Amino acid sequence: MITKLAVLGSTGSIGQQTLEVVRAFPHRFRIVGLAAGKNLDLLAKQVSEFKPRFVYSQDREAYTHQNAECEFLSLEELASHPQVDTVVIASSGKSGLLPVIAAVKSGKNVALANKESLVTAGKIITKEAKLNKAKILPIDSEHSAIWQCLKGETQKAAQLVLTASGGPFLRFSPARLDKVTVKQALRHPSWQMGQKVTIDSATLMNKGLEVIEAHWLFGIPFNNIRVLIHPQSIIHSLVEFIDGSVKAQLSYPDMRLPIQYALSYPERLPNPELPRLNWDRLGSLTFEPPDLDKFPCLKLAIEAGKKGGTYPAVLCAADEIAVKLFLSQRIKFNDIARLVEQVLGQHQAITHPTLEEIIAADAWAGEKAYQLITGDSPC
């Protein structure tokens, strides 16, 4: 049986790795839709290789001019199209939210890599997924690990343990952290990822967002989810059960594995291109608790998740702007957390927000973050 895929965010890091998996199993997966932002050259190459029926790009005019043979759809039309079995949401940032909602409302399998959608609207997405029998298949390595550990279990987990590499600054003093450069922050020790998620990994914001996602994906209270620093990135997460037994999922850190599992679930596929663990050379695996004073973004994210309502949307939007300002060298590394905290502190939250209220809170927070630093509105 061939699974028909639409890949949203096909030119990004996860999108390109998804296409590598598809390339490895041409008789198992077929690309029927591709969507990208502004990287038209790469999108054009992908279209000529995979020949999808449907396509989307941010710049419609430039795109349709080059590629007349594909039907141009909106992201939401693509995510809910009857010819699509599984939608891969690989786009980063807020652009993932509405397509995820469209996909779950139409009962698709949703292979989800976009963090912001579950973080900001987890309650709405999981409710709609249940209502419409849509399956959310996690792509992130930590959630994939937990999902794999839970398979076959009939009782709820007692505790989820999300592992974190600790990023490039694990051993830095707070004073050294204040002076880190963009180049240093973009050099992640174990994972190849896009810029935004690499910075979020260095601040541990990424792990905080993953805690919120885990809460919604697996229905586990925040107090039963913990983060553990594991610098080797071999154990991708652990699940503890009520009898004290702990299961872990281990593999070489390569995103193609969780992507492939989300696409082939419940089956596993043999992919010779995926590197295997070398047990003779692995050495020791170490664990330590995270330092919340040095990496306050983790604490801010978990607090925002616990408070719920519009707080997680504000957290995400403020962080998105803070990371942009850091990448353009307008603020320092430690200012990312300070700015996010300031914006959260000024927010008047809504406890049970609608989708529109979540989107409005996101817009408010982005603008507020930008204003606090530049005194101006973003253009």
Q: By the criterion CB under 5 A, which residues form the site for Mg ion?
A: 140, 142
Distance set, CA 212 to CA 104, 227, 271 (Å): 19, 12, 31
Q: How far is the CB of 173 from Mg ion (least distance, A)?
A: 26
Question: Residues 149-171, buried b or exposed e (16+ Cβ, 10 A)?
Answer: bbeeeeeebeebbbbbbbbbbbe
Q: Name, in order, each residue with C-beta under 8 angstroms of 324's C-beta and a sequence gap of 6 or more.
A: none
What is the nearest approach in angstroms of Mg ion to the Cβ of residue 61?
Answer: 36
Whole-number CA gyration radius for the chain: 20
Question: Could you give the CA distance from residue 334 to residue 20 in angstroms, rounded to a whole number?
Answer: 36
Nearer to Mg ion, 213 or 362 (CB): 213
List of residues 6+ apart from 161 with CB closer than 8 A: 225, 226, 227, 228, 237, 238, 239, 240, 246
Q: How far is the CB of 193 from Mg ion (least distance, A)?
A: 8
Instruction: State in angstroms the smallest separation of the CB of 140 from Mg ion.
Output: 4
Neighbours of 354 (CB within 10 A): 11
Q: Which is nearer to Mg ion, 52 or 167 (CB)?
A: 167
Cβ nearer to Mg ion, comparing 116 with 142: 142
Query: Residue 187 in contact with residue 221, Cβ under 8 Å?
Result: no
Q: Which is nearer to Mg ion, 55 or 209 (CB)?
A: 209
The minimum distance between CB 87 and Mg ion, in angstroms, equals 20
CB of 141 to Mg ion, least distance (A): 5
* CB 142, min distance to Mg ion, A: 5
Strands (E) located in 37-132: 54-57, 71-72, 86-89, 109-112
Q: Which is nearer to Mg ion, 115 or 347 (CB)?
A: 115
109: β partners = 86, 135
Between 78 and 197, whose beta carbon lies closer to Mg ion?
A: 197
Q: In what order do the strands lie in the sheet with 159-164?
A: 225-229, 159-164, 235-240, 246-250
Choose between 53 and 143: whose C-beta lies nearer to Mg ion: 143
Residue ranges with strand state E in the chain: 3-8, 29-36, 54-57, 71-72, 86-89, 109-112, 135-138, 159-164, 225-229, 235-240, 246-250
Cis peptide leading into residue 296 (ω within 30°):
no
Of all residues in this chain, which one has the CB nearest to Mg ion in the complex? 140
Shortest reach from residue 225's CB to Mg ion, in Å: 14
Q: How far is the CB of 207 from Mg ion (least distance, A)?
A: 8
Whichever of 55 and 89 has its CB closer to Mg ion, that residue is: 89
Which residue, 102 or 146, is less far from Mg ion as judged by CB? 146
Residue 199: closest CA among 215, 212, 180, 214: 180
